[in-house]
Every structure is written in C-alpha cells, then in structure tokens.
Amino acid sequence: MAKQDHWPLRYDLLQRYRLIEIIALWEGKLNATHLTGYFGIGRQQASKDINDYLKGIAPGNLEYNASAKGYEPSANFQPKLTSGLVDEYLQLAQRNSDLVTTFHNLSLGLDHTHMMPLPQYRVRPEVFRVIAKACQKNERIEVDYRSINSPNKDGRIIAPHSIVHSGLRWYVRAWCEKNQEFRDFVLTRFYGVPEVIGKSDVQGDADFNWMTRVNVCFKPDGRLTPEQQEVVAGDYGMRDNRLLITVRGSMVQYLLQMMNVDQNTVSADPKAQQIVIENIDAIKQWLF
C-alpha cells in the first residue's frame, strides 16, 4: 500500500474508505448498507462516502451493477488505502466477532465468517497504563513480577521501551536492573500496581536483540513429494518454495512458535509439520 500523505483524511473517514475497499475486494459487492450498518451513519452519508472514494481516492476502482444493486470491483481494481491482503478482511471479521460476543444484539455483517476463539489473557488496565506511560517517557518502574521459574513474589525494577504482541500473548520488552539485561515480561504476570521511580538511563536503542533485524527462511519439508511441496508453498504464499520473514532478533523464537516449528525436533511424519527452517544455523543465536 503506497503512502498517501497528501490526502487530508480524518480517521473516521479513513476507516470508512478502508471498509469500502475491503468489502468490495473480498466479498465482490458493496452498497451503502455496509457502511450504514457498520458505522451507524445515514444512507445519504454512506452514498456520499462511496462517491467521494471513487472521485478522490480511487477513480475506476468500482463499477455499479444495477441488477445487483451494488458496486463491484472493476477489472483494474487497485487497493489504495489497504494492502489487498485477506488478513485485513479476516481481522475485520474478528473485530466484529469480539463486539458481537459482548453486545449480543449488535449486527455488523460478516456473520458468515467465523474465527476460532482464543484464550482471553487478562491484562489489568491499571498495570498496562503505567507500563505504557513508562515506555513513552523512558521511566523506571518497580514491579511485582512472577513467572513459572520464580512463582513467588519477586520485586524488581525495569525500564520498559516497547509493548509487543507475540501472536498469542502480550508482553513488554524492558531493561531489567536485577539481571542487567533486556528481557521480555508477560503482561499477565504483573501483580499489584507498578510504581514509577524516576527516569531511566538506559535507552531502548541499546537493546541489541530488539534493534537487530533477522531473516528467517522457511521451506517445504524436503521429504514431501514435489506435488505436496507445491501445495505447502501455496498455503504459505512462498516464492520459489521459500518464505522469508524478517523479525526483530528478540522475536525469532515467537515466530517459530506461531509457525508451529520446533527447531529441536523433526516430526517423523513430514505431513505433520510440512515446513522447516532453511537457515537454522544463521538464527540459532536468537533462540532460547
């Protein structure tokens, strides 16, 4: 998606224009009802948004189909405010699912799309607020943090610099004064309320593992037949049977967990794991 800094878009307008692109591209039909139902705006405003999108953002992207009573993506459709990836549609469906779970009478469309419910990790807002502020202001905070290895009360002082989602859980990347190194702290393992105790002398850019970008290359398991490898390559969007993902050094292990790849174990059945790490020697230093 190209940057469009010259468009003076408000956030609410941007969200509506993005919905236009996502629905048109992935459902193949868009009308004013999508906007009225999702954003609670009137039909007149919804129609204006669609016309403004076509005039000012993406002329020619949509064509009106009178018999279908809606807009369809043209043969020359090019995403302007989205990346054109199915993940954007699925994320939209996930947000809707979350809202409908809480507000049972709410209907936002996309009812035909369902996602597997994941554990809801409880991060307390009074903890998160202090940590988020400490990240922004480079502050030291005293915390009560407990882990599997140290389940008893363990007071320590940390200097957070980034809050990260590993694909499954939220954690904070921080300098730990007790261990004298940068570490990951799971946000559900903080007890009590962190206390700000002043500025930190350690900056986030001193975190070598965080600042270093690492290329992780996956490929289909070589024990699969060429036809099976072709199927796997298609599943993961590989090019030339290779999938290259670049992540921060401190997140390499989390990436392998999300990809369901164990660097220490090779399944006896290649159809079970399907993919392997091609450059395992190059990434070993980032694993824990």
Nearest Cα residue to 287 out of 255, 258, 242? 255
pLDDT for res 103: 38
pLDDT for res 100: 44
Domain boundary among 180, 206, 232: 206
Residue range 4-23: mean pLDDT, rounded: 80
pLDDT of 3 strictly over 60: no
CB 256 within 8 A of CB 247: no
Place of tokens 């369901």: 260
Residue 206 CA to residue 191 CA, distance in Å, equals 27
Partners of 205 in beta bridges: none
Task: Output the domain CATH number for residue 199.
Answer: 2.30.30
Q: Which amino acid belongs to residue 256?
A: L
Distance from chain centroid for Cα 270: 29
**Which structure tokens are listed for 159?**
């200097």
Q: Are residues 216 and 197 in the same domain?
A: no
Report the length, in residues, of the chain.
288
Q: Are residues 201 and 260 in the same domain?
A: no
Q: Does residue 116 belong to any structural domain of this protein?
A: no
Q: Are residues 192 and 236 in the same domain?
A: no
Q: Does residue 118 belong to any structural domain of this protein?
A: no
Place of tokens 């702290």: 185
Show Cβ contacts of residue 98 under 8 Å, excluding neighbours closer than 6 positions.
none
CB 8 within 8 A of CB 72: no
Domain boundary among 22, 52, 84: 84
Residue 42 CA to residue 36 CA, distance in Å, equals 6
Summarize pLDDT for 247-285 with one digit per residue, the tens. Answer: 999 999 999 999 989 877 777 888 888 999 999 999 999
Q: Does residue 273 belong to any structural domain of this protein?
A: yes
Q: Are residues 173 and 192 in the same domain?
A: yes
Q: Does residue 46 belong to any structural domain of this protein?
A: yes
Residue 53 CA to residue 24 CA, distance in Å, equals 12
The angle, 0 to 180 degrees and rounded to 10, between the axes of the packed helices 32-39 and 11-27 is 130
Task: Output the domain CATH number for residue 236.
Answer: 3.30.70
Cβ of 203: how many Cβ atoms within 10 Å?
Answer: 11
Q: Does residue 25 belong to any structural domain of this protein?
A: yes
pLDDT for res 17: 94
Cβ of 53: how many Cβ atoms within 10 Å?
Answer: 25
Residue range 59-69: mean pLDDT, rounded: 92
pLDDT for res 150: 85
Q: Are residues 147 and 75 in the same domain?
A: no
Q: Are residues 169 and 226 in the same domain?
A: no
Q: Are residues 201 and 240 in the same domain?
A: no
Q: Are residues 30 and 57 in the same domain?
A: yes
Q: Where are the alpha helices (DSSP H) in 204-251?
A: 208-211, 226-235
Summarize pLDDT for 171-209 with one digit per residue, the tens. Answer: 999 999 999 999 999 999 999 999 999 999 999 999 999
Q: Are residues 79 and 148 in the same domain?
A: no
Q: Are residues 172 and 234 in the same domain?
A: no
Provide the residue range defining the domain that includes 156: 125-206
Place of tokens 């999108």: 53
Q: Does residue 72 belong to any structural domain of this protein?
A: yes
Q: Which regions of 43-177 does DSSP assign to beta strands (E)? A: 62-65, 70-73, 139-145, 155-165, 170-176
Q: Does residue 56 belong to any structural domain of this protein?
A: yes
pLDDT for res 143: 96
Q: Are residues 194 and 250 in the same domain?
A: no
Q: Does residue 157 belong to any structural domain of this protein?
A: yes
Q: Are residues 199 and 216 in the same domain?
A: no
Domain boundary among 206, 227, 249: 206
In the chain, the number of structural domains is 3
Partners of 239 in beta bridges: 242
